[in-house]
Structure 1
Amino acid sequence: MSAGRLAGRYALLRPLGAGGMGKVWLAKDEMLDREVAVKELTLPEGMPPKDRADSVTRAVREAQATARLRHPGIVALHDVIVEHDRPWLVMELLRGRTLADTVREFGPMPPEYAARVGADVLEALEAAHAQGLQHRDVKPGNVFLTDGGRVVLTDFGIARQEGQSTLTEQGLMIGSPGFIAPERLEGEPGGPASDLWSLGATLFVAVTGGNAYQGSVAERVRATVTQPVPVAPGPLGPLLAAMMARHPTARPALRTVVHALRQVAAGGPPPVLPAGEHATAPRRVGRRGRKPLLWAAAGLVLVVAAAATGFYLLRDDDGTPAAFTVPMDVCTLLTPQDVGGLLRTQSPPKARPDSDEVGPECGWPAAGTGVGLQVQKDSDTVDPWSMTAATAATLFQNQKRYWAKYDDIDWTWPEIGVKSSMRSKRTPLRDLPGLGEEAFAFELKGTTGRVHSAHVYYRIANLVVAVEYATLADKPTDDDVRQAALKAARATEQALRRAG
């Protein structure tokens, strides 16, 4: 299309460049008297009218999701227009050059500068992930280094909002080979850990001047899913290899990587990742719907659990669980017999599965009593099965610190009859040796001074499990309530250890 005017206010001056999703124009917003960048999203020629209309609708929806992002490290989207049967995105005009152009012109970056770039990009990605938005095309050409010193992540053109299909999923583009995480190449939708992998591949280019995986498109794709993760020279090498671990659960937490990158950027020593956060990851795991693959790497063996459990368990050579990596039904951790014994009934209540932002949970409530459990996650991780042992250990300690801060607790459990908050006093936290890798417990006392609920938290491998037992009856002693919660926790732990 020749230069013209959009929406009666944006004058297209000249093309600035073109990419897989369209052309970028220098334009002037005549209403606000400022220069802007306008991206023209092109669609394949010959698309049926309905498919074209659907694609335009999706593009507008994705632009709306991107427009909610407000972060100095994310290019600002000012407006979206549909004209000439295609979408146009009006964005802030950045002056400078991309990371790809910078490396091409000046060669590899010093590790301190590359680390600062990476930390800035990762913080921008964290802001996007907090809104449920994956970028899905992090690469050197989409990292912009402005003349004013900003590091800006651009081009959310194939970003994915959780639970929604995208232009990508309609076959128009899948990203940039060599910068696409292995799980996405194998057909999975990916998540925050996939963007982290792409950033690792991007920083590999920054510090070496070349791609982690070389060759044709097919060769790069094949190498990504079959070849060992390369290690770049210098202080960032081990960290980038960890970010590019083959399996997403083996990659470090995003916040851990930010801290490590800031450490290198400040001229500090090479970062040492917590135990469990390193690149000793499975080369490949079976996708759901396929026969799982058996693999051995770095002293770990993948054991496929019984089909009824529905999850994978990584074990160390001595048989100790190392990681649970695929979602499971947490309601299977207590059997009806377990629940009946805990609640002292021959007709145990049915399990009530639920989930919130903390993680999946299951409860077995009855009149005046109940038992419940939750498998938890931190705010940086998409689900508990994506936790590592190190991030789970951090989450466990954070939970311990959280509960230690509060003596007065408002407690409620409507399903057993406590529909309004019951003011309760917390007993001192105590460690529980012999349960999981680490565990602690406490109880809550009502106004009468009797314990009405007992709580146990424990960590096994990369999972943090919270168990609660409650009763409003007068007969059980305080120790009875404590022991019931401990018995429930041990039953769930044994169920996890039996897996595989």
Structure 2
Amino acid sequence: MSDAGQLIAGRYRLDGRIGQGAMGVVWRARDERLDRVVAVKQLGYDPAIGQAAGDQASQRALREARLTARLRHPHAITVHDVVEHDGEPYLVMEYLPSRSLADLLLDRETLPADDVARIGLQVSSALATAHAEGIVHRDVTPANVLLADSGVAKIADFGISRATGEGTVTGGGFIAGTPAYLSPEVANGREAGFPADVFSLGSTLYRALEGTPPFGTDDNPIALLLRVAREDVIPPRHEGPLAEVLTRLLQRDPDARPSMAEVRQLFEAVTENRPLPPPRPRGHLGTRLLKVHRPRWRLVLVAAAGAVLLALGVVIGTILVPDGGTSVAAPVSSAPPPAPTTTADLGCAASYEVTNSWPGGYQVQVTVRNDRTDDLSGWSVRWTLPDGHHITGLWNGTYTVDGSTVTVDNAGWNATLDAGASTTFGFIALTGNGTGADRPQLTCRTV
């Protein structure tokens, strides 16, 4: 752990701590080369996720920081530099004397509609520029909206806090802090894309206007995630153009939401007391935006894949479905899976990975790969469940238990796999003791 007065990377002199979270410590520092004050984020790790996972998360954060450092906008915190010192990663960022919107709402509970609209205009402007660059924030929450005394609002941590598990993983392995601001598709296990940022911005501003997130609050993160995934937004009590804008941002269907560039135009109309532009036809501009920026978006997703899996693996793992139920669809991946743990080559291979564990339970992801040279139209995975273990929720497939034998069959959407392609399913298991560390032998068959 660094100390005040220490010189980082031969250039950044640490002054005093200005923040601390699961991702590490944030310092105010002086750039001695350019004689300016900066913020230095020392990427540490949360003991709850372990040293190895923390190290991997830090490296993913560094890779993503290098990607997002190209973003320059007056309402986005700028990443100046990415350095290593004594083997530890550090992010050097713009220093903004400020409070987060989350801190402000602890004191005031709600903000006037005019203030909320001005914050929305500034933040949406920055996010629209980020989206134009192919950058998805993935963690738009009140904690990441910084407010200066001058009234300037800036969005911080483009993917950094999600990549390192900040405010995401607790000692029990469940979501804490950000579930109330997730979009329904992300809560259901899908990739976070541009529309997810739109929904999360709407959730953040709804909280500032209404005093509660759009799905309410709950001390049980699993119950809250289920509510986000399945229920509708609580209608705002406020009336007027701002409430109408938030309603458009908080559409359950991602294709029905405005693009972030349109969101900026909506807030411009509110702040200038002009009539709101009419909603666009469903699927028109949103589809065009994805086509225009598709190559850059893919680049971002490839660079940030590890970060997304770290965060969303926990989200998916906490969304339980009834025994034997079929889960919400997730994308089929053609990326190489982990080393197979199948006992025989029966046309497909399956690998088993414990992605999270806690006393009395654990979470598993199983990757199924088509080993054939032609397509397959169905698959089934079987293994022996240890004594005393009980599956309480499964997604991306259906399962049956016969004695101690578990059989998982494909869901309808992921039955067909091209040659060499793969898909995944996962489950939560409970046990009286232990953490499910042992990997069973799996048998994968095509059907």
Same fold (TM over 0.5): yes
Output the TM-score relative to the length of structure 2.
0.56
Change beyond 3 A, Cα 1:85–1:104: same
Match of 1:221 among 220, 225, 245: 225
- 1:267 aligned residue: 273
SS of residue matched to 1:222: helix
For residues 226-276 of structure 1, give each alpha carbon's deviation from its aligned partner in whole angstroms, at most 9, with x where no partner exists. Answer: 221122213222321221222211212323322221111123456653465
Q: How many pairs align? A: 280
Establish whether residue 17 from structure 1 lines up as the match of residue 51 from structure 2: no
Aligned 8 A contact 1:62 1:159 in 2 = no
Change beyond 3 A, Cα 1:100–1:240: same
1:136-285 superposed matches below 5 A:
136-158=138-160, 167=164, 176-212=178-214, 213-216=216-219, 217-232=221-236, 233-235=238-240, 236-268=242-274, 272-274=278-280, 276=282
Change beyond 3 A, Cα 1:139–1:289: closer
Q: Give the letter aligned to residue 244 of structure 2.
A: P
Once residues 140 and 164 of structure 2 are traced to their aligned partners in structure 1, the CA distance between those partners, rounded to angstroms, is 16
Structure with max Cα Rg: 1
Change beyond 3 A, Cα 1:104–1:266: farther
Once residues 48 and 202 of structure 2 are traced to their aligned partners in structure 1, the CA distance between those partners, rounded to angstroms, is 37
Aligned 8 A contact 1:98 1:140 in 2 = yes
Q: Give the letter aligned to residue 270 of structure 2.
A: V
Once residues 225 and 46 of structure 1 are traced to their aligned partners in structure 2, the CA distance between those partners, rounded to angstroms, is 26
Q: Give the letter aligned to residue 252 of structure 1.
A: P
Q: Give the letter aligned to residue 78 of structure 2.
A: A
1:246-325 superposed matches below 5 A:
246-268=252-274, 272-274=278-280, 276=282, 286-288=328-330
Higher relative contact order (CA 8 A, sep 6+): 2
SS of residue matched to 2:157: coil
Aligned 8 A contact 1:135 1:159 in 2 = no
Once residues 8 and 71 of structure 1 are traced to their aligned partners in structure 2, the CA distance between those partners, rounded to angstroms, is 28
1:53-132 superposed matches below 5 A:
54-132=56-134
- 2:9 aligned residue: 7
Once residues 229 and 158 of structure 2 are traced to their aligned partners in structure 1, the CA distance between those partners, rounded to angstroms, is 24
Once residues 159 and 130 of structure 1 are traced to their aligned partners in structure 2, the CA distance between those partners, rounded to angstroms, is 21
Question: How far is 1:27 from its partner?
Answer: 1.2
Aligned 8 A contact 2:141 2:200 in 1 = yes
Aligned 8 A contact 2:22 2:46 in 1 = no
Once residues 45 and 159 of structure 1 are traced to their aligned partners in structure 2, the CA distance between those partners, rounded to angstroms, is 16
Aligned 8 A contact 2:58 2:164 in 1 = no
Once residues 86 and 202 of structure 2 are traced to their aligned partners in structure 1, the CA distance between those partners, rounded to angstroms, is 38
Aligned 8 A contact 1:225 1:246 in 2 = no
- 1:339 aligned residue: none
- 2:369 aligned residue: none
CA RMSD, Structure 1 to Structure 2 (Å): 3.2
SS of residue matched to 1:138: coil
Q: Structure 2 regions of 5+ residues with no counterpart?
A: 284-326, 333-376, 378-412, 414-447
SS of residue matched to 2:181: coil
Aligned 8 A contact 2:44 2:54 in 1 = no
- 1:388 aligned residue: none
Once residues 77 and 22 of structure 1 are traced to their aligned partners in structure 2, the CA distance between those partners, rounded to angstroms, is 16
For residues 57-99 of structure 1, give each alpha carbon's deviation from its aligned partner in whole angstroms, at most 9, with x where no partner exists. Answer: 3222111011110111111111112224431111111012222
SS of residue matched to 1:109: coil
Output the TM-score relative to the length of structure 1.
0.51
Q: Give the letter aligned to residue 234 of structure 1.
A: E
- 2:347 aligned residue: none
Question: How far is 1:179 from its partner?
Answer: 0.9
Change beyond 3 A, Cα 1:248–1:159: farther
Once residues 289 and 75 of structure 1 are traced to their aligned partners in structure 2, the CA distance between those partners, rounded to angstroms, is 32
1:292-371 superposed matches below 5 A:
none
Once residues 158 and 247 of structure 1 are traced to their aligned partners in structure 2, the CA distance between those partners, rounded to angstroms, is 26
Once residues 99 and 47 of structure 2 are traced to their aligned partners in structure 1, the CA distance between those partners, rounded to angstroms, is 31
Change beyond 3 A, Cα 1:50–1:100: closer
For residues 131-157 of structure 1, give each alpha carbon's deviation from its aligned partner in whole angstroms, at most 9, with x where no partner exists. Answer: 221111101111112233322101124
Question: How far is 1:47 from its partner?
Answer: 7.7
Once residues 66 and 14 of structure 1 are traced to their aligned partners in structure 2, the CA distance between those partners, rounded to angstroms, is 26
Q: Give the letter aligned to residue 214 of structure 1.
A: T
Once residues 103 and 51 of structure 2 are traced to their aligned partners in structure 1, the CA distance between those partners, rounded to angstroms, is 38
SS of residue matched to 1:134: coil
Change beyond 3 A, Cα 1:275–1:112: farther
SS of residue matched to 2:104: helix
Once residues 109 and 88 of structure 1 are traced to their aligned partners in structure 2, the CA distance between those partners, rounded to angstroms, is 34
Once residues 51 and 239 of structure 1 are traced to their aligned partners in structure 2, the CA distance between those partners, rounded to angstroms, is 40
SS of residue matched to 2:80: strand
Q: Give the letter aligned to residue 262 of structure 2.
A: T
Aligned 8 A contact 2:65 2:160 in 1 = no
Q: Give the letter aligned to residue 287 of structure 1.
A: A
Question: How far is 1:39 from its partner?
Answer: 0.9
Counting aligned pairs with the same residue, the percent is 37
Q: Give the letter aligned to residue 15 of structure 1.
A: R
- 1:401 aligned residue: none
Q: Give the letter aligned to residue 110 of structure 1.
A: P
SS of residue matched to 1:184: helix
- 2:321 aligned residue: none
